[in-house]
Amino acid sequence: MPPIVRATQFFEFVGGIAQSATDGQTVRLPPALMQPIVSDDVAATLTKIHARYFGIEVNDQSLTPGDHPRLGPTRFEDWLSRSIPQG
């Protein structure tokens, strides 16, 4: 079973949390302690964990087609540009 990594709120969200709890000049927050963390520190910690992909460990070659692949004509960026709703 893959490890579960829990993180508190990110520093980057503190402004949004305060804004969403603000009504005029009043800020309403629950009386709960919080220890935020910067998202870069969470990412750095996650890179130290040997992540699994559908239960198996992967390396730089695990999800690539090998030396002589048969590639389809549609490139990812072309597919993505057609898949995102315009407007």
Q: What is the pLDDT of residues 4-44, one digit of tens each?
A: 777 788 999 989 988 999 999 999 988 988 889 999 998 88
Q: Is 19 helix (H, G, I), strand (E, B) or coil?
A: helix
Number of domains in the chain: 1
Specify if 46 maps to a domain. Answer: yes
pLDDT at position 3, please? 67
Range of the domain at 3: 1-63
Neighbours of 11 (CB within 10 A): 13
pLDDT at position 66, please? 87
Listed in sequence order, the DSSP H helices in the chain are 14-20, 39-47, 76-83
Which residues have C-beta within 8 Å of that of residue 45, sequence separation ≥ 6? 5
Tell me the per-residue pLDDT of 31-86, one tens digit each, with 9 for 90 and over: 988 889 999 998 888 887 776 778 788 888 888 888 999 989 999 999 999 898 87
pTM, to two decimals: 0.49
Reference 13, options 21, 25, 3, 24; nearest CA is 21
Specify if 81 maps to a domain. Answer: no
